[in-house]
Structure 1
Amino acid sequence: MTTDYVPPVQKGFGQLVDSVFLLLLVYCSLLAPLLLKAPDKPPEAQTAKTQVSWRELGQNPAMEAQWRKLGYTAEQAKPIITTRFDYQIEPVSLIVTALVIVGYFGFVLRVSDRQYRQVIAEKFGE
Structure 2
Amino acid sequence: MASEYVPPVQKGFGQLVDSLFLLVLVYCSLLAPLLLKAPDKQPDQAQAAAQVSWQTLGQNPTMRAQWQKLGYDAAQAKPIITTKFDYAVDPASLIVTVLVIVGYFVFVLRVSERQYRQVIAEKFGERRDELLAITE
TM-score normalised per structure 2: 0.74
Task: Indicate the residue corresponding to 2:85 in structure 1.
Answer: 85
Please tell me whether the aligned partners of residues 29 and 97 of structure 1 are also in contact (alpha carbons under 8 angstroms).
Answer: no
* RMSD across aligned positions (CA): 2.5
- Output the TM-score relative to the length of structure 1: 0.78
Structure with more helix by fraction: 2
Shift in Å at residue 59 of structure 1?
Answer: 1.4
Contact persistence 1:33–1:93 (CA under 8 A) = no
1:110 is aligned to 2:110: yes
Give the C-alpha shift of residue 65 in structure 1: 0.8
In structure 1, list runs of 5 or more residues that go unmatched: none
Cα distance, 1:24–1:99 mapped onto 2, change above 3 Å: farther
**Rounded Cα–Cα distance in structure 1 between residues aligned with 2:30 and 2:49:** 39
**More off after superposition, 23-32 vs 60-69:** 23-32
Structure 1 moving runs of 4+ over 4 Å = 44-48
SS in 2 for 1:49: helix
Output aligned runs, 1:1-126, within 5 Å.
1-37=1-37, 39-44=38-43, 49-50=50-51, 52-125=52-125, 126=128
Quick one: percent identity of the two aligned structures? 75
Aligned residues: 124
Aligned-partner Cα distance in 2 for 1:111–1:48: 59
Change (3 A) 1:98 1:84: same
Q: Residue 67 of structure 1 contacts residue 77 of structure 1 at CA under 8 Å; is this kept in 2?
A: yes
Q: How far does residue 64 in structure 1 lie from its aligned partner after superposition?
A: 1.0
Give me the whole-angstrom Cα distance separating, in 2, the residues matched to 1:63 and 1:12: 50
Structure 2's unaligned 5+ residue stretches are 129-136
